[in-house]
Structures are given as C-alpha cells and as structure tokens.
Amino acid sequence: MTVLSVAMAIALVTTLGVVARWPHYRCVGDTPLPTLAFMAILFTSGLDVGLIMFPLIDFETYAAEADYQFTSPLVVEFGFWGGLVWGFYVLTTLYFCAIEPRVRLFERPAIKLVHNLIVIATCAFTAYLFLAYLPSYLPGLGNSLTYLTVTFVVLLAVISSTRLSVLKYLSVSSTLLFFALIFVVWWISGRDVSELASNVASLGNYPKHLDQFLTPINDYHGFYLSWWFAWSIMIGQFVARFTNGIRAWKLALAIVIIPSIPIAVWFSVLFGLFESGGTVSSGLNWLMMAVGILFVINSLDSLTRLYAQNLGWTVEHLGHVVYTCLHTGLLLALVVLYQFTPLKIEWIGVIVIALYAAIYFFIFRRRHELL
C-alpha cells in the first residue's frame, strides 16, 4: 500500500508539473485523427467492461462498509473511475509524444519485453473480467456458453485489430450506444430529470474528498489503483499515436474532463436505479451486456494492435490466419491463467510502478538533454 501511495503522489505531481512547465507543447502522433474520432478512441480504449458491470455491485458494498462512509456511494464510485485518476493517461501520453521519440527507451530489449508482457497480461485481464462477471448478468448461459461467448468476443477483437478503420467506427458506435444505454436505464429507473440532476450535482463532493482517493482506502481501492497503473503506460502509448497537434494543456483537460462527464452521468443514472430499489430486467441485462461486449472488443482491439506492432507480430508479417490464431490463443491462455492461478492485476500494477521508476531514473540522468 505504501508503494502504491508514493507512486500515485509522484505520478500526479509530475503530471501537474509537466503540463504547467510546457502547456503549449503540440502533441502530434504518427496517425493523427480528427478530434471526434480521437476522443471516442480515448474514451472507449481507456475503459472496459468493468464500467458497465461493477457499479451496481459496488454501490451495495460502499453503502454497507465503514471504510466508505465519508461520502455517498455515488461519489466513491466516481472517485474510483473518474477525475484525477485519468491524470495517469495525461502523463504517459505526453511522454510518448515528447520524450520517447527522442530517447527510444521502449525500444531497448529489456524494457520492450517487460512492457509488452504487461500489455498482453492486462489485455487478457479485460477478457477475464468479462468471463468472471458474465454469469451474474446472464445467469442462464451456463458454463459452456459462457466460455464460447468469451472466445467469440476475443476472436472478434483480434480480427478487428487488423484494420484501423474498424477501430474508428467501433469506438464512435460504442460511445453512441453507451449514451443510448444511459437514457434507457434512466427511463427504467423512473427518476425525473431533477432527481438525475441532483445526483450529478452531488458529485461536487468529489473534490472535497480528493485526498481520500489519492491513496488506497483499503485493498479493494488498491485493486482499482493497481488496475489504473497497469493500463497507464500502454494507453498513453496507444493514445499518443492519434494526437493531432493538440496543445498539452488542452490534452490534459480533454483526458481528465471529457471521459469523466459520461462516467458521471452513467453512475448518477445507475445510482438512481439503486436508490429506487429497481431491478435490472433481463432485457436491460442484455442491453448492458451488448455495450459491455463492445467495450471489451474496443479494449482488446486497442491493446492487441499495440503489442502486435511493438513486437512485429502484425498481420502484415504473419498473415491473417497465423495472426488471428496466435493472438486469440495467447489471450485465451492468459484468461485461463487468471482464472485458475493466483495471477492478479495487482502484480501487474507493481511491475508497472517499477517501470515508472526506471523511466524516471533515466530521464533524471539525462535531464539536461531532455528538459
């Protein structure tokens, strides 16, 4: 917990310091995209099925346990998913836009190997979460159909990762369907606009309790923060490729604020359903799972594309059949490891923190050349 707390503080202070020092630096990636497509990819690639599956379960936990009584369950959930935790992505995106092209640290064999193992393991964790929570949302599937569904979703994601144009359309359509899901859940909850607005307004308490979210409240919060760390470097590398000349201060605001808005509305709508004691119908379950599946495909597509390019395991080098079989088999094998071994995302988070330390050390040694 101490290591995680120190790492959180250093990462966020560094983010603020870098943006304040070079606010007008223009971030340009090797595949710049229009702003709308860029923001859609940022939102859908930086989140996964947990955004759909976790909140209603989490609300019950936060309402019942003493550790979370400093504020409402809604604010706690937002603190775990939104706001400043997105600062990780600001820091790593700026690094891959401004520093990595000059030092090529991630092309060094040891760091390249560790980094890509992290990407593969975290990619598989997304699929594992889908496997673990699917039965609770669709209990009638049974074990065989559950495994087949996960296999099919992983296969679709790997196939979609062969073409960038698919990712752009998938990201935009996922975002639009997510907004549609928000509306449907709000309608089903029976809460009026003023009640929804009240829930959204209550998130104004988040800044008042910011200190509570910057260090682990307990092991479950530690799990979330480790998860964010595990994602941070690879999402920064991925997002940096699509930046289109946006200035550093605008990029920071976009990454921290824009994804937080739909997250805030989504959680507020779900909290209204939770407060009213409403039940999730089978039809709503299916709709939530449809959006969740799209989020999984987006995440797996993004991360598969990233480590495939980093390692040279691309469709151009391997061909479609070998590419599809290799990446599908690799991800499914790791899903099995998560299910039947002690492997945890917290372990991946610790490795990422060690990688952060190595990068900080390298930059400090060459600070006069780089800064």
Q: What totals of helices (H) and strands (E) does the chain contain, helices first?
A: 20, 2
Q: Indicate the burial class of 228 (C-beta count within 10 angstroms; 0-12, 13-18, 19 or more).
A: buried
Spell 56-74 as b/e; 16+ CB within 10 A means b: bebbeebeeeeebeebbbb
Residue 244's H or E segment, with its range, is strand 244-247
Residue 152's H or E segment, with its range, is helix 142-160
Q: Decide if pLDDT at 344 tops 70.
A: yes
Which one has a higher pLDDT value, 270 or 275? 270
What mean pLDDT is reported for the chain?
84
> pLDDT category, 133, cuts 50, 70, 90?
confident
pLDDT score for 267: 92
- Closest of 336, 88, 49, 357 to residue 181, by C-alpha: 49
Which one has a higher pLDDT value, 351 or 52? 351
Mean pLDDT of 102-121: 88
Beta pairing, strands 244-247 & 26-28: antiparallel
Whether 259 contacts 82, CB under 8 Å? yes
Q: Does residue 37 sit in helix, strand or coil?
A: helix
Helices of type H across 29-108: 35-45, 50-53, 55-64, 73-81, 87-94, 100-103
Whether 345 contacts 230, CB under 8 Å? yes
Q: Decide if pLDDT at 44 tops 70.
A: no
Give me the residue spans of the domains in the chain.
Answer: 41-86+106-235+260-370
Q: Decide if pLDDT at 356 tops 70.
A: yes
Q: Does residue 206 sit in helix, strand or coil?
A: coil
Q: Indicate the burial class of 32 (C-beta count within 10 angstroms; 0-12, 13-18, 19 or more).
A: middle
> pLDDT category, 46, cuts 50, 70, 90?
low
Angle at 75 between CA 214 and CA 41, to 5 degrees: 75
φ, ψ for residue 247 (rounded to 5)?
-70, 155
Q: Decide if pLDDT at 8 tops 70.
A: yes
Q: Which residue has the tokens 């702003």?
A: 35
CA–CA separation, 327 and 57 (whole Å): 32
> pLDDT category, 73, cuts 50, 70, 90?
very high
* pLDDT tens per residue across span 271-315: 988 887 766 666 777 788 788 888 888 878 878 888 898 888 988
Give the distance from CA 2 to its chain's centroid.
23
